[in-house]
Amino acid sequence: MLPGDVRLMNMVSTALYGLAALAALAALVLWLARSPWFAIRSIRIDGDLQRINGDTLSANAAPRLAGNFFSADLGRARAAFEAVPWVRRAVVRRVWPDRLVVHIEEHHAAALWQGDERDDRLVNRRGEVFSANVGDVEDEALPSFAGPPGSAASVLAMYRRLLPTLRTLDLEIEQMQLSTRGSWRVLLDSGATIELGRGSEDEVAARSERFVRTLSQVTSRYHAPLEYADLRHADGYAVRLRGVTTTLPGAKP
């Protein structure tokens, strides 16, 4: 046999061994993917859970999981858990030999959201709108937000900016509204409405602070509570008191 033939046979043999090894590896992977020996037998839920019951969460998400320890798609598993109401974020990892550990971050409601949709939703503390059973928070004094799609974070930021100012008058914001033209309005727990107008957060806050500093001068003068205020004037604001209507051309502290 010629040396060239020997080399050719060696190359062919090496290639055949390599193909056989790849086939064996593929068969092993396929067996691992289908083997019941590596089925996921338990799911552990952790995280600071207040709204969600871990057992209920596992029961709701488990039917959507597919595969065993090796073949389970963790991305699909994460999506299955995040589809459960009140779950904001889920991190899923494997723990040998037959367990999934899921860390859950819940939504924490900051407000009710009244969008264009018929069903009311909620806003979390990050300014994200999410769907959940609004009846679960009926016992909480949550404000109500309304605005164009995608504006929830801006509405929450304005609410947080104005609330300390209004609280100096023992007033709470029941509704915070942003129009499609960018104009702000608040409805207070006293029943009064304040038109804040358009502008940046700093501009709206400045008008509100000027109003709060001088409102007591008006209400004490007429001995009547506030019913309506319009802060959209350049050099002052207009107010309507219960039983009295007046316009201040330049209210100053």
3.30.470.30, 3.40.50.11690, 3.40.50.300, 3.20.20.70: CATH of 109-248: 3.40.50.11690
| Domain coordinates in residue numbering, the chain | 1-34, 38-106, 109-248
What number of CA atoms fall less than 13 Å from residue 106's CA on the CB side? Answer: 16
Ordered alpha helix ranges (H), 93-197: 152-167
Topology of 38-106 in CATH?
A: Ubiquitin-like (UB roll) (3.10.20)
Question: What's the DSSP call for residue 50?
Answer: S
The model's pLDDT over 226-238, given as tens digits with 9 standing for 90+, comes to 999 999 987 889 9
The model's pLDDT over 118-142, given as tens digits with 9 standing for 90+, comes to 567 999 999 999 998 887 776 668 9
**Contact yes or no for 32/38 (Cβ under 8 A):** yes
The model's pLDDT over 2-25, given as tens digits with 9 standing for 90+, comes to 455 556 566 656 766 666 566 555
Question: What's the DSSP call for residue 228?
Answer: E
What number of CA atoms fall less than 13 Å from residue 100's CA on the CB side? Answer: 28
